[in-house]
Amino acid sequence: MRKLVFVIVNYNDYKTTKRLIDNIKDYKVIDDIYVVDNHSSDDSYDKLKKLKIDKLTVVRTFHNNGFAYALNYGAKEVMKKYKKADFIFSNSDIIINSNENLEELKKLLDKKDIGLLGPVVFEHGRLNRGWCFPTPKSEILSNLPFIGRKFKKKSYYPDNYYKGELTYVDVLSFCFFLTKSEVLEKVNFFDENTFLYYEENIMASKLRNTNYKTAIANNITIIHDHSVSVDKSINYINKFKILKRSQLYFESVYNNASKVEMFLLKFTIKLTLITLYVRIFIKGGFKK
């Protein structure tokens, strides 16, 4: 029988990661828990290594080269042990209600055409259930200062799109998702050329060239205590710059953006960055 391995990415966030480990350690559906410490600069790794839990393996990356790098590191460590396996990849700031929820997700993942599977994610007081694959034009419009959010909302499917047990989507959130070792091998794993953000869109682009589909399990909901570890480590302006570097990489490499579209993307990014600096100056300091 295929193993289900729960992979958690940790960076400088022992407390939150420990909370998730305690949440899932007794769930029978999980065969192994792997924590990938993404070269924390605090004592997270040392504390995690001291935990005495039978299912738990803690590994540490050689350097912090981003989220996709940590996902690949964890997947390849697991695949040294199991030639084939099912994966749950998770941020540390996740809360799961029951073993039964994970059992249901594993059953749905067993469908032959499912490459990526996610639950409904409750975060920021709303439900995140995936989004449409963006175009360069939609990305440019979403970058516009002040009004960009209105255009970004159009990338989400309407609520009535989600019917029945399973709904296919273009892209899903990588805060918590399931996949298979065969899928990772098929697409040559995650692209490590982004540090943070846009991993979801990049993987969606890769899956377009396969027979695998992306789906949301409509009856399963998990809670995302959003960006706890990221916010502890990266200030607001730096997060924006990292986000937009990833956006430009995605658009140039995976989304066939033209030279004109790339120019407009860079221009709208600069406009928004200027407005952020002005807003911070008016408030009298950086938002942590």
For 9-31, give the DSSP string: EESS-HHHHHHHHHHHTT-TT--
Q: In the predicted model, what is the mean pLDDT of residues 146-159?
A: 91
The candidate with the shortest Cα–Cα distance to 29, out of 58, 2, 59, 57, is 2
- Structural contact between residues 88 and 176, judged by C-beta atoms closer than 8 angstroms: yes
- From 52-61, 99-108, 199-208, 222-231, the region with the lowest mean pLDDT: 222-231
Q: Quick check: 124 pLDDT over 90?
A: no
State the pTM of this model: 0.93
Q: Is a pLDDT exceeding 50 seen at residue 113?
A: yes
Strand blocks (E) in the chain: 3-10, 32-37, 56-60, 85-91, 94-95, 114-123, 126-128, 166-169, 176-180, 213-224
pLDDT surpasses 90 at 232:
no
**What pLDDT was estimated at residue 280?**
77
Per-residue pLDDT at 288: 42
Region 20-48: what's the mean pLDDT? 97
Write the CA distances from 88 to 3, 118, 201, 253, integer angstroms.
11, 9, 18, 27
Q: Per-residue DSSP letters for 209-256?
A: TSS-EEEEEEEEEEEE-TTHHHHHHS-HHHHHHHHHHHHHHHHHHTS-
Confidence at residue 230, expressed as pLDDT on a 0 to 100 scale: 55
CA 28 vs CA 6, 33, 66, 236: distances in Å: 12, 12, 31, 39
Where do the domains of the chain lie, and which CATH numbers do they carry?
3-133+149-223 (3.90.550.10)
Quick check: 181 and 85 in contact, CB under 8 A? yes
Q: Which residue has the tokens 């994970």?
A: 102
CA distance 3 to 279: 50
- pLDDT at position 231 is 52
- Beta-carbon contacts of 282 under 8 Å, excluding residues fewer than 6 positions away, are none
pLDDT at 285 exceeding the cut of 60: no
